Amino acid sequence: IDYTGTEPSSPCNKCLNVSWDGTPPCTCTINFTLEHSFESNVFMYYGLSNFYQNHRRYVKSRDDSQLNGDNSSLLNPSKECEPYRTNEDKPIAPCGAIANSMFNDTLKLYRIDNDTRIPITLIKKGIAWWTDKNVKFRNPTGDGNNLTALFQGTTKPVNWPKPVYMLDLEPDNNGFINEDFIVWMRTAALPTFRKLYRLIERKNNLQPTLQAGKYSLDIAYNYPVHSFDGRKRMILSTISWMGGKNPFLGIAYITVGSICFFLGVVLLIIHHKYGNRNTSADIPN
């Protein structure tokens, strides 16, 4: 479901030129229909297009020691984070361009049954890699578990509406170990990508996770993409016994295999045409 809002008829067109810190956020609702039921667990993604997370300077613009909870790096971030290292003479936590551009739209899904909107439970934990959640990302340490005190002396990234210790109300999903933040910090290799946003778990084996029918998507539109001709979309995906549907590897294998086969034929022709020539240095009589 594309909700960028570039089309005048789109419900999100009014939010097209939203700013990072718009208060209150612009909201819009998009209705859609699922033609087929989703039987297994459902994965909800947000997708971005024309967003180059693979730019060399962008990828380097982070401080892994700071993200791992090192107290000295918290107050003295790496110079790789410039120009998002400090703001108003205070160190930024988390620093760098990757963190500063974190996706911050809020998506809510509803099923429409007889004109009644029934909210779909979206699970926000378990979306990040285990190694990222438990090894690479740690909150600063100190007396007590009060993140407000632990992040004292730092300031929020320039484009964030609130500091890192207010990303979530649950202590095990707040600060640097917030899973939405962790997912964003794992940069994408291509300019068109998707990142896992929420999980929808199957409740029982008698009913599908998402029934075929009408649904609506409520969007708190905070993330501006129109300035660089980007696109935003919400993706619902499920898995079968063979895994998820992703044609990239299949296309890549077929392409590389076809190139190898073509080169093999060319080299075979060259070998048969020129390989039997007399390469002896003897001068014939």
Predicted local distance difference test score (pLDDT) of residue 117:
93
Predicted local distance difference test score (pLDDT) of residue 115:
85
Quick one: three-class SS letters along 138-164? CCCCCCCCCHHHHCCCCECCCCCCCCH
Tokens of 223: 């993330």
Residue-level pLDDT, tens digit, the chain, 285 residues: 999 999 999 999 998 888 776 677 889 999 999 999 998 899 999 999 999 999 999 999 999 999 999 999 999 999 999 999 999 899 999 999 999 999 999 999 999 998 899 999 999 999 999 999 999 999 998 876 789 999 999 999 999 989 999 999 998 999 999 999 999 999 999 999 999 999 999 888 778 899 999 999 999 999 999 989 999 999 999 876 666 667 788 899 999 999 999 999 999 999 888 876 655 555 555
Predicted local distance difference test score (pLDDT) of residue 25:
82
Residue 83: asked if its preceding bond is cis (omega within 30°), the reply is yes
Tokens of 181: 């933040």
CA dihedral 243, 46, 38, 198 (to 10 degrees): 90
> Residue 9 to residues 4, 14, 24, 26, 30: CA-CA distances in angstroms?
12, 10, 23, 17, 11
Rounded CA separation 197/163 (Å): 20
Tell me the Ramachandran region of residue 50: left when phi exceeds 0, alpha when psi lies from -120 to 50, beta otherwise.
left
Predicted local distance difference test score (pLDDT) of residue 285:
53
Are 42 and 238 in contact, with CB atoms under 8 Å apart?
A: yes
DSSP bridge partners of 119: 110
Per-residue b or e along 50-61, where b marks 16 or more CB atoms closer than 10 Å to that residue's CB: ebebeeeebeeb
DSSP bridge partners of 42: 200, 238
Tokens of 178: 């917030």
Which residue ranges make up each domain of the chain?
13-239, 241-270
Predicted local distance difference test score (pLDDT) of residue 249:
82
Residues in the chain: 285
Predicted local distance difference test score (pLDDT) of residue 273:
85
pTM of the model as a whole: 0.83
Neighbours of 92 (CB within 10 A): 25
DSSP bridge partners of 174: none
